[in-house]
Structure 1
Amino acid sequence: MTAHLNGFKAALSASKLQIGLWLGLTSPVTAEVCATAGYDWLVIDGEHAPNDVPAMLSQLQVLAAYDVHPVVRTVAGETWMIKQALDLGAQTVLVPMVETPEAAAELVRATRYPPMGCRGVGAALARASRYNRIPDYLATANDQVALIVQVESRSALAQVAEIAAVPGVDGVFIGPADLAADMGFLGDPSAPEVRAAVLSAIRAITRVGKPAGLLTSDRSFAMECIAEGAVFVAVGSDVGLLTSSTAALRSGFPKSI
């Protein structure tokens, strides 16, 4: 018995479009609701949402029952954070603020067991190995781990092709919000200059044969990015859907007297 097949990794490798959604509400209930909506992948966000380890675990457990791939975004690219996410059972990790090819190479090492990397060996205690009931987990886990690195600054975009080309990097995710801030458009990722930079990065990533992705709630821009070659695109968040739908519902009724 080997490590579970990472279908998301296989889909990215085959350039099969994957539409995703962000999870920030830290709830297994809302995660399950989103899992039944037809998305290909869901991001459990540990960088900006209050998703701690127990919250991540509960959502991973719930999502396992559905045909959707969970991705865990760590707070940062620390080896111990990546180890925790992988041991919890996440097979795909998204790491923010990757600036150089050298940093990307170190992240690859963090996701792999020796001799290919430096992931700590504690599979007997880990959900990832079904608590040591997958006999060949240690021998097969490396092949099923997917590393997505996130580029979100001008300096990172200047090296995006080199970052994408690092062996073991399975995809490059562009962060329009932080990129906009770095470009002087804080809070305005829809600025034409930012959009142009995102599209240029998508082209650079795909030219070296790696999948490109991003998060945008702008439907028209999402479609433009897909047309440009983006393979994995997150199109909103549970928080955004809840805030917009509750506001829209309330707006249809008179104001309180």
Structure 2
Amino acid sequence: MSQFPKNSFKKALAAGRQQVGLWAALANPYTAEICAAANFDWLLLDAEHGPNDLPLILSQLQAVASYGTHAVVRLPTGEADLIKQYLDIGATTLMIPMVETIVDAENLVKATRYPPLGIRGVGSALARASRWNRVSGYLSRSADEICLLVQVESRRGLENAQAIARVDGIDGVFIGPSDLAASLGHLGNTGHAEVEHAIDLVVSAIAKTGKASGILAFDEARARRYLGCGVQFVAVGSDVSLLVRAIDGLRAKFIPNLPLSADRSAEAGY
């Protein structure tokens, strides 16, 4: 029988240890493996805004499996059927966008649990997650190793953030700064004072529940500020933005008469 897969990222969050991550949106197993080899604590495979689908995510999970970084998969939506498929291919940490209410959070938890605790369909004999039924006790123990992260990124989500975090089965709340800024009337300006204040308030509210908060910040000073404020899992860059900066920087050295692309990390829409 195969060894039961352990979720080191979930255990780190539960223990209060900070985790520094990288965003991977190029939708390619080779580039995902390059990112994984850098050994960040976690690597986000983006199926919401990255041009990913289920087979592509599977190939990336396989590509990064032998490295120390933990794969987190962001789904395009929180549909139960989609959650079932991503869990079956072996994703153990899921990030779900646009969660706004307690009911939303409770339904997501149910989608990650087998009956009678939830509604996840039973197909372990066909699933990579159970190593095709070679993992002893997978059906009864799988929920212990599933880490569920929900995104709060709207005004309504902000109002309910603490209650969402308190839902049993929610392991962490990720603040989506770009959509949050848009919801607050500051589209493309994640650094606006109102947005920063809202983020500080929700981080504090989540901390009171004992759950982990997370965010992305591709500006180094801002990322360090969030880490200093106790945000537990912070993405500090993305494969796309790093590639753009490196390419534009190299071109500027040899073709200086062309304007360099502006740094649009604050407007990245992640």
TM-score when scaled to structure 2? 0.93
- Aligned equivalent of 2:203: 202
Deviation (angstroms), 1:256: 8.1
- Aligned equivalent of 1:166: 167
Matched to 2:6, the amino acid is L
Q: Secondary structure of 1:202's partner? A: helix
Deviation (angstroms), 1:255: 5.0
Q: Secondary structure of 1:252's partner? A: helix
Distance in structure 2 (CA, Å) of the matches to 1:155 and 1:111 = 24
CA contact (8 A) 1:151 1:173 kept: yes
Distance in structure 2 (CA, Å) of the matches to 1:113 and 1:137 = 11
Q: State the aligned residue count.
A: 257
- Aligned equivalent of 1:85: 86
Distance in structure 2 (CA, Å) of the matches to 1:221 and 1:256 = 31
Root-mean-square deviation over aligned CA pairs? 1.3
Provide structure 2 residue ranges, at least 5 long, that are not aligned to the other structure: 259-270
CA contact (8 A) 1:151 1:174 kept: yes
Distance in structure 1 (CA, Å) of the matches to 2:231 and 2:30 = 30
Distance in structure 2 (CA, Å) of the matches to 1:173 and 1:233 = 9
Distance in structure 2 (CA, Å) of the matches to 1:256 and 1:235 = 31
**Structure 2 counterparts to residues 16-31 of structure 1, below 5 A:** 16-31=17-32
Q: Secondary structure of 2:21's partner? A: strand
TM-score when scaled to structure 1? 0.97
- Aligned equivalent of 1:136: 137
Deviation (angstroms), 1:144: 0.5
- Aligned equivalent of 1:119: 120
State the identity as a percent. Answer: 51
Q: Any idea what the Cα deviations from partners look like across 1:58-102, whole Å, max 9, x if unmatched?
A: 000011110110011111110011111100100000000000011
CA contact (8 A) 2:39 2:67 kept: no
Distance in structure 2 (CA, Å) of the matches to 1:247 and 1:254 = 10
Q: Any idea what the Cα deviations from partners look like across 1:187-232, whole Å, max 9, x if unmatched?
A: 1111121111111111110111110001110111111111221000
Distance in structure 1 (CA, Å) of the matches to 2:257 and 2:18 = 46
- Aligned equivalent of 2:6: 5
Q: Secondary structure of 2:85's partner? A: helix
